[in-house]
Amino acid sequence: MKKLIIASVVLSLCGCAMTDTKETVPDVNQVPEKVYLSGMSNELATDALLVSLINKNYMAKKVASNRIGVQLGGHQFVLQPSLNPQGVDRILASRYYAVHPKLANSQELMVLIGSLNHKLNFAKFTLRDNGKVIQVQGAATFVGTLELEELRRFLIWTDDALKQVAKSLPNSAEELIKPMPVMP
């Protein structure tokens, strides 16, 4: 009987030693995966998005009151929240390209931009500054809450589409149309 009691005490002690004593305490340093933008102005949403991107280790900088420059891989985007209290919210994502003076505001450039807008639907292509700059702009939609992973995937998808566009252009185009940095 004594052996039985000792064996049960040893087994219960072993059982206690094997029990996980860690408490599941939420990590206060964990960076949220979502940005809650509901009810904010575009400027406040810009600030909230900027903080979230920086906390997720993105290289990001406010470039205007309602615009953020963000680095993704080797490319930079300008992000602009566009919130609508009665409808769908958007993050406008733009890339800018400088156009060589030989091509700026030319008929060939206007035909190229028109053709891209006619054939593609992932973004709109617009000439700015008298044809010296090409803006490529897409929009990621959401309602109230933006998931950073979805935004990241949207930017990668846009970047991949722009790489395909670049492959379809003549080789000389990369000398005439170059990405513009949006933040130092």
Assess contact for 154 and 138: CB atoms under 8 A.
yes
Amino acid present at 149: E
Q: Record the pTM.
A: 0.80
- To the nearest 10°, report the CA torsion of 6, 12, 13, 18: 150
Of the two residues 149 and 85, the one the predictor is more confident about is: 149
CA–CA distance, 150 with 27 (Å, rounded to integer): 23
| pLDDT tens-place string over residues 84-143 | 988 899 999 999 999 999 999 899 999 999 999 999 999 999 999 999 999 999 999 999
Whether the pLDDT of residue 34 is over 90: the answer is yes
CA–CA distance, 50 with 53 (Å, rounded to integer): 5
Nearest in space to 19 (alpha carbons), one of 27, 28, 11 = 11
Domain locations along the chain:
32-179
Whether the pLDDT of residue 35 is over 80: the answer is yes
Assess contact for 183 and 69: CB atoms under 8 A.
yes
Total residue count of the chain as it appears in this document: 184
Please tell me the predicted confidence (pLDDT) of residue 97: 96
The CATH number of 32-179, from 3.10.20.30, 1.20.120.790, 3.30.1460.10, 3.30.565.10, is 3.30.1460.10
